[in-house]
Amino acid sequence: MNDLAAIVEKLCASSRKGFSDPHAAVEWPANLDRDQWFMSPDLISLQGLPAYDALPESDRRTLSFHEVVNFFSLVLNGEKFLIQGLTQRLYREDLGGLTPYLHHMIDEENKHMIYFGEFCTRYAGKVYPDKKLSVPRDYAPGEEDFLFFARAVIFEDIVDAVNIRLAGDDRVCPTVRRINRIHHEDESRHLAFGRALLREMFGERAPGWSPETLSRVREHLSAYMAAAWKEYCNPSAYRDAGLPNSYQLYEEALASSPAARRRRELSARCVGFLVQSGILLQEPVL
Amino acid sequence: MTEAEIKRALHEWIVKASGRIRPEELTDETMIFEKRIITSLQGLDFVLYMESLIGKNIDIQNLTLHDFRNVNAIYREVLGKLL
């Protein structure tokens, strides 16, 4: 049994052991006290901007609610895309050994969407929609599968870094902390699987790719990581929090030094893996 | 904003974001995604910029990539309908 097969077997056993009812895992208060933090203050996307510094604390807490609704929405939207891709890869002969764990991932991602969707619709009355545009393109042999799983690892790792911080922050709303904690527990397994799979896929496929393909893969993953962080900032959330000039705030948040430092800090584990495994040659500009 | 102002703003955004096309090379009929002048990873930024131009949300779920294929289509199929 190779390393990946052993990891798949171990993770399947762990998923079966931790099988849960998503409708019983979180208690949903009828109302949430809005005068509390929903996002850690230091994780708010506008933190460090003059416009944020000028806000009274009550308005910062209001913003933190809309920020966490945006964060849960982007996770939910990402998981919808992930489930589509995982489902397409079930029972493929060339990926046959993965199928038992893909079933668990699909099940667990579906449960996560229940938590995130319930919070957003129950307390905010909406999920912020996905506004990404999908452009079809051609791929070299093995490139599309590799990019799918690499994007999944990048997305899950960044989200997990935020989950860990939110779950451990005593200032944050207990319901938000609980959801982040549950998500982190499942994502730890998904990340272990994803990293092992990427190492194996890259080792098998990259030697057959042309230098142009390899360069395109690296460029795409670096750009994907930067693009994933842009979803963390949402003009609609700023507008819902009552802030004027929401698009200008979005641009300022993307350009600000404190935000760039936060992105690098929260991406450090993921970047470390990608560089150490040779998938990326250098740290992306975030 | 007038149609001409919106199209001019779209041109400026595309040229700046792309870095792969000169202003004089971009027409209202240039296929911006098909020719990879704008990539899918720039799509979110582009949509948010369009929303800022008209001050309204764009419901992507009811649109296809074809509606964003060039500046004329963006105005005719997306932005013009929201003004």
Query: What is the Cα–Cα distance from A137 to A177, expressed in whole angstroms?
Result: 39
Residue carrying structure tokens 């807490």: A61
The pLDDT of residue A20 is: 87
pLDDT of residue B30: 98
Taking contacts as CB-CB distances below 8 angstroms, the residues of chain B near A236 are 57
Packed helices A211-230 and A143-167: angle between N→C axes, nearest 10 degrees: 30
pLDDT for res A122: 97
A vs B: CB pairs below 8 A? 55
| B30-59 mean pLDDT | 96
Report the pLDDT value the prediction gives residue A68, as an integer from 0 to 100: 98
Among B45, B60, B65, whose Cβ lies nearest the Cβ of A135? B65
Interface list for chain A against chain B, based on CB atoms closer than 8 Å: 129-137, 220, 223-224, 226-227, 230-231, 235-236, 247, 250
Closest C-alpha among A26, A199, A56 to residue A119: A26
Confidence check: pLDDT of B28 > 80: yes
10-residue mean pLDDT profile of chain A (286 residues): values are 86 93 93 96 96 97 98 98 97 92 96 97 97 93 97 98 98 98 94 96 96 97 96 97 97 96 97 98 95
Q: Which contacts qualify for B50-59: CB closer than 8 Å, 24 or more apart?
A: B50/B10, B50/B74, B50/B78, B50/B79, B51/A235, B51/A247, B52/A235, B52/A247, B53/B1, B53/B6, B53/B9, B53/B10, B53/B79, B54/B1, B54/B6, B54/B79, B54/B82, B54/B83, B56/B82, B57/A236, B58/A131, B58/B82, B59/A129
pLDDT category, B13, cuts 50, 70, 90?
A: very high
pLDDT score recorded for residue A191: 97
User: Whole-model pTM?
Assistant: 0.96
